């Protein structure tokens, strides 16, 4: 069983709560001290959370709080009046059905809440972050699709040749490299060493060249492998053999017949990525200082800004549902054999 090592004040008193040491734990609670706890080792947290029923009586006297609890993660603030006002404003004292009714009423009026960290309405923060995120993700999305489908068609055209094998090895190598390696290496070589691009900021279009380039390259590996598999599966079907037997040229077979019949999995892969255009790229925006929704999401999570996180997750979930419906509609448009009912 994990053992308690020491108490300390969240306000900075690392050597322990004076009232807790001299007057007992109950006195410490009455004085309003904010206490934390150290454990012997990190694995002890698992014993704390999974074995509370087996804990000693001393453990039951400790009030363990994590960021994001019912007062919005502000347990460390020594302002009980403000905390109580926050609870009343969010009606956290009401039953669940009352909270849900209030939240739905807020959404119907376009009220996504208020950010305690930024001191602004959440709707305004989302409006301000949409354009930077879209200016980054849309070029990555479009360029990545065009380049990866084109290279997969090249693989299918030159299958079992040196070009095909080289592109396969190239795509596997890209898939094996961590996303952070692309970002750090790109910033070091292209921005710091050669000075071709700015390292940080969002002032003009040139600040987006390097993050867009990194985003496209990092996603090429998996996309090339995926689209190449689709193209090769179509190449072995009977209608392709029939077209070759009739003397149809290989480029026409690839770009007219094969590409058209491979649209179903391509549409699935493309449309399902649309919600991520809105939410932005968390790592790219954070490393390059782009004030988009990804950068906003990380700051909101780190500061336990619940209203912001909840709004981003809600809109992302709605976009995901819409994209799934849009996928079915695109199926019917691309393949006449698919009927919507």
CATH number at residue 233: 1.10.3720.10
What φ, ψ does residue 4 adopt, rounded to 5°?
-75, 130
pLDDT, residue 77, reads 47
pLDDT, residue 148, reads 92
Residue 76 pLDDT > 50: no
Name the residue among 306, 312, 316 with its Cα closest to residue 115: 306
Examine residue 114 and state whether it is found in any structural domain, yes or no. no
Query: By three-state DSSP, how is residue 109 classified?
Result: coil
- Please identify, among 20, 37, 60, the residue that sits at the C-terminal boundary of a domain: 60
241 compared with 31, residue with greater pLDDT: 241
**pLDDT confidence bin for 247, thresholds 50/70/90:** confident
Examine residue 306 and state whether it is found in any structural domain, yes or no. yes
Name the residue among 281, 263, 267 with its Cα closest to residue 140: 281
pLDDT, residue 96, reads 57
Distance between CA atoms of 208 and 231, rounded to whole angstroms?
32
Query: By three-state DSSP, how is residue 11 classified?
Result: coil
Helix axes 162-176, 206-235, angle to 10 degrees: 130
Helix axes 206-235, 263-271, angle to 10 degrees: 150
pLDDT, residue 262, reads 84
Question: Do 186 and 256 have their domain in common?
Answer: yes
Question: Do 193 and 294 have their domain in common?
Answer: yes
Give the count of beta carbons closer than 10 Å to the beta carbon of residue 26.
10
Q: What is the average pLDDT across 195-216? A: 87
Q: What is the average pLDDT across 268-294? A: 84
Residue 250 belongs to what domain range? 121-334
Distance between CA atoms of 267 and 264, rounded to whole angstroms?
5
pLDDT, averaged across the chain: 74
Specify which residues 121 forms β-bridges with. 114
- Please identify, among 39, 60, 81, the residue that sits at the C-terminal boundary of a domain: 60
Helix axes 206-235, 179-186, angle to 10 degrees: 140
Q: What is the average pLDDT across 93-115? A: 75
Query: By three-state DSSP, how is residue 229 classified?
Result: helix
- Tell me how many domains the chain contains: 2
Examine residue 254 and state whether it is found in any structural domain, yes or no. yes
Examine residue 202 and state whether it is found in any structural domain, yes or no. yes
Examine residue 105 and state whether it is found in any structural domain, yes or no. no
Examine residue 277 and state whether it is found in any structural domain, yes or no. yes
DSSP 199: S
235: Cβ contacts below 8 Å, ≥ 6 apart:
156, 159, 258
Q: Which of 16-30, 245-259, 306-320 has the lowest mean pLDDT?
A: 16-30
Question: Do 165 and 296 have their domain in common?
Answer: yes
70: Cβ contacts below 8 Å, ≥ 6 apart:
87, 92
Question: Do 22 and 164 have their domain in common?
Answer: no
Q: Where are the alpha helices (DSSP H) in the chain?
A: 18-23, 25-30, 44-50, 57-60, 80-89, 96-108, 122-157, 162-176, 179-186, 206-235, 238-245, 250-252, 259-261, 263-271, 274-279, 282-288, 293-302, 306-334
Examine residue 98 and state whether it is found in any structural domain, yes or no. no
Distance between CA atoms of 189 and 192, rounded to whole angstroms?
6
Residue 65 pLDDT > 60: no
Question: Do 227 and 312 have their domain in common?
Answer: yes
State the Rg of the chain over Cα.
28
Question: Do 54 and 192 have their domain in common?
Answer: no
Examine residue 246 and state whether it is found in any structural domain, yes or no. yes
> How many residues does this entry show for the chain?
341
Q: What is the average pLDDT across 109-136? A: 86
Q: What is the average pLDDT across 205-214? A: 90
Q: Where are the alpha helices (DSSP H) in 66-121?
A: 80-89, 96-108
């Amino acid at each position: 069983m994990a053992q308690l090592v020491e108490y300390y004040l969240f306000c900075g008193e690392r050597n322990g709560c004076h009232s807790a040491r001299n007057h007992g734990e109950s006195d410490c609670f009455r004085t309003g001290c904010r206490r934390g706890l150290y454990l012997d080792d990190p694995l002890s947290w698992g014993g704390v959370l999974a074995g509370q029923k087996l804990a000693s009586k001393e453990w039951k006297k400790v009030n363990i709080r994590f960021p994001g609890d019912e007062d919005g993660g502000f347990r460390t603030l020594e302002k009980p009046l403000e905390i109580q006002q926050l609870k009343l404003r969010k009606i956290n004292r009401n039953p669940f059905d009352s909270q849900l009714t209030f939240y739905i009423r807020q959404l119907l009026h376009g009220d996504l809440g208020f950010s305690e960290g930024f001191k602004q309405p959440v709707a305004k923060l989302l409006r301000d972050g949409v354009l930077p995120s879209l200016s980054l993700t849309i070029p990555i999305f479009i360029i990545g699709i065009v380049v990866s489908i084109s290279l997969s068609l090249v693989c299918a055209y030159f299958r079992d040749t040196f070009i095909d094998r080289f592109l396969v090895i190239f795509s596997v190598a890209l898939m094996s490299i961590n996303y952070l390696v692309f970002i750090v290496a790109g910033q070091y070589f292209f921005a710091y060493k050669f000075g071709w691009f700015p390292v940080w900021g969002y002032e003009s279009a040139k600040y987006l060249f390097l993050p867009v380039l990194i985003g496209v390259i990092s996603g090429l590996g998996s996309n090339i492998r995926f689209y190449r598999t689709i193209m090769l599966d179509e190449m072995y079907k009977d209608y392709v053999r029939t077209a070759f037997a009739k003397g149809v040229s290989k480029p026409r077979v690839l770009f007219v017949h094969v590409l058209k019949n491979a649209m179903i999995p391509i549409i699935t892969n493309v449309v399902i990525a649309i919600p991520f255009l809105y939410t932005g790229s968390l790592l790219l925006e954070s490393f390059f200082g782009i004030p988009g929704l990804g950068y906003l999401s990380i700051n909101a999570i780190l500061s336990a800004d619940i209203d912001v996180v909840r709004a981003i997750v809600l809109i992302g979930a709605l976009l995901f549902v819409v994209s799934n419906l849009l996928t079915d509609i695109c199926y019917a448009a691309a393949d006449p054999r698919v009927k919507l009912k």
